[in-house]
A and B are shown apart, each in its own frame.
Chain A
Amino acid sequence: MNNKLLVSASPHIHTEESVRQIMWLVTLSLLPAGIAGALIFGFKVFWVVLASTLSAVATEALIQRAIKKKITILDGSAVLTGILLAYNLPPGVPLWIPVVGSFFAIAVGKQVFGGLGQNIFNPALAGRAFLMASWPGHLTSFSMPFAYDAVTSATPLALLKEGKAPEYLNYLDLLFGRRGGCIGEVCVAALLLGAAFLLLKGYISWHIPLSFIATTGALMWVFGPRGLFSGDWLFHILTGGLILGAFFMATDYVTSPLTRKGQLIFGVGCGLITAVVRLWGGYPEGVSYAILMMNAATPIIDRYTRNRIYGSQ
């Protein structure tokens, strides 16, 4: 009875949260946007998401089995990658596109680097970049919202790039997703719902999304079509993949900086590249490339924004 005081190594208080729980909750927070996508573009969207997710999980299991590692498909990270990739695809793609894309995302984007936690680039975006470079035709033909057949329409940003103002849209349409676009990016309201959940639970912080969106909006406002300070910043925030990218992909723990200061730099960098691509680039939309480029810069940002150890110089 003289040994009642037990002293274990720190940390003494810890939460029950695990990688698995966080991954599944992020997946849950993406659900509203997927349902909205299915309502807007029809049931075919469901098959794209399913094909992408199954392919991601199968690839992860096969590779981990082949290299005799522990199979970790239940931690939800492969499911999340598959869903995110599908959300970045146009609704009318042939089903082999998400299958090949998810294979690439997991095999080359993630497992080559050593699996979860080791990858430099966001796997879903690596998969998207691969698909975009390989089959640009499939990745840029968007179906019309609420037209349940093969009618295609350009995205608002693509119209803008061609010099045609998309006049038929008002901000409410953009907020609720009445426009051409990728499966998961169109319904901003549903995305914001999921994002609010993640922010309230504390799984993501506001630093990256806010600095990302604010930078893009500010630059689009400053460099407007009719001279300085004439840009339609709200239009640019609501279109494209900005909301999806800023809240769900730029905030990926593995590929974004660790410190708050680093995250602000990361977000501003993403916003800057997005705006530059939208204003002067060859593509109408630049969110995915912006995040990928800043992913590459993350190790450097981390090195220069390391927290000062208390008491040191």
Chain B
Amino acid sequence: MKNLIGHFVKGIAKENPTFGLILGLCPTLAVSTSLANAIGMGCAATFVLVCSNCMVSGLRAFIPERIRLPMFIVIIATFVTICELLMKAYFPALDKSLGIFVPLIVVNCIILARAEAFASKHKVAASFFDGLGMGIGFTVGLSIIALVREATGAGSILGFKFSGNFEPALMMILAPGALLTLGVLIAAVNLLKERRAARP
């Protein structure tokens, strides 16, 4: 049980996909323009990650070594399609604002990396918690970036505008804003890690 909690927690903190492993950056940079988008994207990726991790782990005895990557992709693509259709049916507005990045979850590096590095070598329960932890870690990372960008670039949080005459910096919701925010946040995380390591 303790092991399972360990698998769950590491994705959120130490091996956070966004700030620790620096994986899955294309959706991170592209959809972090608003907090609502980030949470939607995070949930979709978490769903796919958990399902694909369980499936890969359950089938790991039957997947031949040499064709494992195509099989992982087929499994992931199946869940992405399910997720996309569900989103189109029940959250059409979110689907519209995420656009092409929903089908592109198929090639999200985190999901394939977890299938290859973790799920294909561990039991179903461990894989489930690993997927959930990584998914939540991804969502949290994405949400922090989106919070900064939406607040500075659009002058709002979750669509609610700041009162007063704050003039948002348009650039922060354009592409350069994403790279700048990500860079500053990674630097901050590394600084914290360094401080912690230096402490006796």
- On A, residues with C-beta under 8 Å from B are 100, 108, 130, 133-136
- On B, residues with C-beta under 8 Å from A are 167, 169-172, 174, 176, 180
A134 to B170, CA, bound (A): 4
The listed residue with most B CB atoms (<10 A of its CB), out of A100, A130, A133, A134, is A134
Q: Which residues of A contact B171 (CB under 8 A)?
A: 130, 133-134
Are B180 and A135 neighbours in the complex by a CB distance under 8 Å? no
Closest to A133 in B: B171
Q: Which residues of A contact B174 (CB under 8 A)?
A: 133
A130 to B179, CA, bound (A): 13
A134 to B169, CA, bound (A): 4
Q: Which residues of A contact B170 (CB under 8 A)?
A: 133-136
A76 to B170, CA, bound (A): 31
User: Which 3 A-B residue pairings sit nearest by Cβ, starting from the closest?
Assistant: A134-B169, A133-B171, A134-B171
Are B172 and A108 neighbours in the complex by a CB distance under 8 Å? no
A130 to B171, CA, bound (A): 7
Closest to A138 in B: B167
Chain A nearest Cβ from B56, distance in angstroms: 40
Instruction: Pick the contact of B180: A100, A108, A136 (CB < 8 A).
Output: A108
Are B180 and A134 neighbours in the complex by a CB distance under 8 Å? no
Q: Which residues of B contact A100 (CB under 8 A)?
A: 169
Q: Which residues of A contact B180 (CB under 8 A)?
A: 108
Q: Which residues of A contact B176 (CB under 8 A)?
A: 133
Chain A nearest Cβ from B113, distance in angstroms: 29
Chain A nearest Cβ from B67, distance in angstroms: 43
Closest to A137 in B: B167
Closest to A134 in B: B169
Chain B nearest Cβ from A155, distance in angstroms: 21
Q: Which residues of B contact A108 (CB under 8 A)?
A: 180
A133 to B180, CA, bound (A): 14
Q: Which residues of A contact B169 (CB under 8 A)?
A: 100, 130, 134-135
A100 to B169, CA, bound (A): 10
A136 to B168, CA, bound (A): 11
Interface pairs (16), CB distance under 8 Å: A100-B169, A108-B180, A130-B169, A130-B171, A133-B170, A133-B171, A133-B174, A133-B176, A134-B169, A134-B170, A134-B171, A134-B172, A135-B167, A135-B169, A135-B170, A136-B170
A108 to B169, CA, bound (A): 15
Chain B nearest Cβ from A58, distance in angstroms: 19
Chain B nearest Cβ from A108, distance in angstroms: 7
Closest to A107 in B: B184
Q: Which residues of B contact A135 (CB under 8 A)?
A: 167, 169-170
Q: Which residues of B contact A136 (CB under 8 A)?
A: 170
A133 to B174, CA, bound (A): 9
| 12 more CB-based (< 8 A) A-B contacts, given A133-B170, A134-B171 | A100-B169, A108-B180, A130-B169, A130-B171, A133-B171, A133-B174, A133-B176, A134-B169, A134-B172, A135-B167, A135-B170, A136-B170
Chain B nearest Cβ from A85, distance in angstroms: 16
Chain B nearest Cβ from A80, distance in angstroms: 24
Closest to A108 in B: B180
A136 to B170, CA, bound (A): 9
A133 to B176, CA, bound (A): 10
Closest to A100 in B: B169
Closest to A96 in B: B167
Chain A nearest Cβ from B192, distance in angstroms: 15
A100 to B166, CA, bound (A): 13
A135 to B180, CA, bound (A): 17
Closest to A132 in B: B171
